[in-house]
Amino acid sequence: MFGFFGQENHPFGSKIDKGTARDNTTNIAKCQDFSCARLVYNLNMSKQDTKTKEKWSLKEKFPAGFLSDSDFSDLEKQLLFTRGIQNVGEAEDFLNPKYEDLHDPLQMKGTPEAVQRIKKAVDSKEKVLVYGDYDVDGITATAILYSVLTDLGLEAEYYIPKRDTEGYGVNTDALGEIAKAGAKLVITVDCGVTAVQEVEYAKKLGLDTIITDHHAIHTEKDKEVLPDCVVVNPKQKTCKYPYKELSGSGIAFKLAQALYKEFPDKLVNGQEKWLLDLAALGTICDVVPLTGENRVIAHFGIKVIQKTKRAGLKMLTEVSRSAPKDIDSYKIGFQLGPRLNAAGRLETAEKSIQLLLTDDENEARMLSLELNKLNMERQELTQRILSEAIAEVEKKSKKAKLYLLKGKNWPSGVVGIVASKISEKYLKPVIVCEDKGDECQGSARSPKCFNIIEALEKSSEYLVRYGGHARAAGITVKKEHFVLLENKLLELSDDGIKEEDLISEYKIDSETSLSDISAETFKFLKKMEPFGMGNPMPTLVAHGIHVETFKKVGKSFEHLKLVFADGRAKTNGIYFSFTGDGMDFAKNVDIIYQISENEWGGRKSYEAKCIAIRESK
């Protein structure tokens, strides 16, 4: 079906020819050598974190007979098994995603009605506005829908609220402005599913609304509470759409797909694939599971980015010291994502959207450099607030299973990042708020063991606004209700979180000795990409290994380079940010590791990236 378009117009025609090396910060030129391993490791830096307990646990082993009618090796079988694959057919689908695997967009509840309403807008030349959000998912969703509406010949505009003054979601002041500017139809992306009153208000202004969103739907006595308009959100109970985990940009892409079907005279069927780069950015940065349809979107979206035609994405990869052809899910999540998010965190998301939409190379270069600068400012700000917030945590009771924190001059743009870092450190749900005087506005992050959106729903009497998912949410709370909210949440977390949930656990896919890793293994790992939530990079364990040499590397010698020997072969290893003071490398060790590719002087090799190390028993 791709034959119609020349290679030039073909978003994922050719195979990726090159493996992508992971970005790391090791500064090889600067290193202290310890060629003798008979030394007790000692670093003149911070002591090991307070996180003392940790558990190494192997995931369940695949059962006898699993994928027996296949050529997969035992390690491959195990990796497929731990990703929920049940038979050879599913394994093939997983390893070879096909564009045709995407579901029919019209199956999604509300989509046929949304398409008809947009058709009416085209026929009567109405002005249409896309109402989005300031994070990567929100801006990519906005850019997707805005592009399609413009290509349909509509007079389209977009609106992104400002994080600090307006906050997340649809607000009535904005709707007033939008109506005044002459729009007749508002289509939300990545927000709006809780905007019941706002949609009523829009009606009074003569605005029609279509909601497209992927966030949790509020319920009252088990009944869904939805705005009274067309709602496209597969999480609706009565939605028969087979996949529920799409991101906001994923849903915007599905609506685009439907519009391509509906308007074959205006939109060239097949060309919607070029929008997958945006959908993949949103999908990966919103950390939805990379399973099912999300995996297909991410897989092909990365290919589109690798041959991107967007001046902005080209420049953004360049300022991230990378190249489009080397983009993978890791680089999207850790290099492109933070830069695209930076604008919305510190000022408005406008620059990021412009960057995604511009054809002009000079504009793209200028915007990329600005986003890069904003991202550095964001990093400094995060560091400052993180240390202030940790100081607050240390004042709280050690028994608390949840932290609700607030601070003045904690900009709402970075409280989410701070919350997630603290939550990772203490393995507890954390809400970090900016104290804005009468109100506090914050972001919540929660480990798997606790459903934060359910807890907020149970505490809604103390909240002005809230919304989100099981593991991430946003809240607004009146200052006089802050302590009441804290008490309620502490009570809920006390009941909901068990002591064993507070132990950090390494979940290991397989016990595999270093000498069993081959080029074949690496090839298979490549086929398992893109990695992320729901499909983590395989984590392996090896026991009783001899450390032959090690040396400190990196700007402040914070990393460790090692050579392991397991009796059959020698393997290079790297341990980033090693903090294991007192480790005796004269004794044999066990390691938890991932396999990464290393390119040095044009030669490719594999190395073990250590996640954890301990003396063998």
Which run of H or of E encompasses 322? none
CB of 248 to Mn ion, least distance (A): 4
Binding residues among 135-164 for Mn ion as defined by CB under 5 A: 137
3-state secondary structure of 265: coil
The tokens describing 482, both together, are 């802050």
Amino acid at 459: S
Binding residues among 61-100 for Mn ion as defined by CB under 5 A: none
Stretch that binds Mn ion, among 26-34, 103-111, 182-190, 458-466 (CB under 5 A): 182-190
Binding residues among 573-602 for Mn ion as defined by CB under 5 A: none
DSSP state of 539: -
Specify the residue, 136 or 371, whose C-beta has the smaller distance to Mn ion. 136
Closest-approach residue to Mn ion (CB) = 137
3-state secondary structure of 204: helix
CB of 401 to Mn ion, least distance (A): 27
End-to-end Cα spacing for the chain: 58
Specify the residue, 169 or 496, whose C-beta has the smaller distance to Mn ion. 169
C-alpha 609/C-alpha 561 separation (Å) is: 10
3-state secondary structure of 41: coil
CB of 336 to Mn ion, least distance (A): 16
Specify the residue, 190 or 529, whose C-beta has the smaller distance to Mn ion. 190
Specify the residue, 190 or 277, whose C-beta has the smaller distance to Mn ion. 190
Residue 190 found at the interface with Mn ion (CB under 5 A)? yes
Stretch that binds Mn ion, among 117-125, 146-154, 183-191, 458-466 (CB under 5 A): 183-191
Stretch that binds Mn ion, among 282-290, 326-334, 441-449, 466-474 (CB under 5 A): 282-290
C-alpha 460/C-alpha 477 separation (Å) is: 10
CA distances from 517 to 58, 133, 520, 595, 596 (A): 18, 44, 8, 8, 11
CB of 286 to Mn ion, least distance (A): 4
Specify the residue, 190 or 509, whose C-beta has the smaller distance to Mn ion. 190
DSSP state of 470: S
DSSP state of 573: E
C-alpha 193/C-alpha 172 separation (Å) is: 15
C-alpha 521/C-alpha 523 separation (Å) is: 5
Specify the residue, 472 or 574, whose C-beta has the smaller distance to Mn ion. 472
By the 8 A CB rule, do 469 and 454 touch? no
Letters for 100-139 (x = contact with Mn ion by CB under 5 A, - = none) are -------------------------------------x--
Q: Whose structure tokens read 């090693």?
A: 578
Residue 286 found at the interface with Mn ion (CB under 5 A)? yes
The tokens describing 198, both together, are 């706002």
CB of 513 to Mn ion, least distance (A): 41
Specify the residue, 187 or 553, whose C-beta has the smaller distance to Mn ion. 187
CB of 190 to Mn ion, least distance (A): 4
Specify the residue, 75 or 297, whose C-beta has the smaller distance to Mn ion. 297
By the 8 A CB rule, do 570 and 564 touch? yes
CB of 214 to Mn ion, least distance (A): 6
Stretch that binds Mn ion, among 188-196, 219-227, 230-238, 600-608 (CB under 5 A): 188-196
List all residues 6 or more positions away from 133 whose beta carbon is below 8 Å from its beta carbon. Answer: 139, 141, 142, 160, 161, 168, 169, 189, 190, 191, 248
Specify the residue, 169 or 248, whose C-beta has the smaller distance to Mn ion. 248
C-alpha 161/C-alpha 140 separation (Å) is: 15
C-alpha 141/C-alpha 134 separation (Å) is: 10
Work out which of 97, 248, 337, 532 binds Mn ion, going by CB under 5 A: 248
Please count the other Cβ atoms lying within 10 Å of the Cβ belonging to residue 325.
14
Letters for 498-517 (x = contact with Mn ion by CB under 5 A, - = none) are --------------------
Residue 245 found at the interface with Mn ion (CB under 5 A)? no
CB of 277 to Mn ion, least distance (A): 17
- Of 220, 190, 139, 169, the C-alpha closest to 466 is 169
Please count the other Cβ atoms lying within 10 Å of the Cβ belonging to residue 452.
28
Residue 277 found at the interface with Mn ion (CB under 5 A)? no
CB of 247 to Mn ion, least distance (A): 5
Specify the residue, 78 or 233, whose C-beta has the smaller distance to Mn ion. 233
CB of 258 to Mn ion, least distance (A): 20
* Interface size with Mn ion, residues (CB under 5 A): 4
Which residues contribute to the site for Mn ion (CB under 5 A)?
A: 137, 190, 248, 286
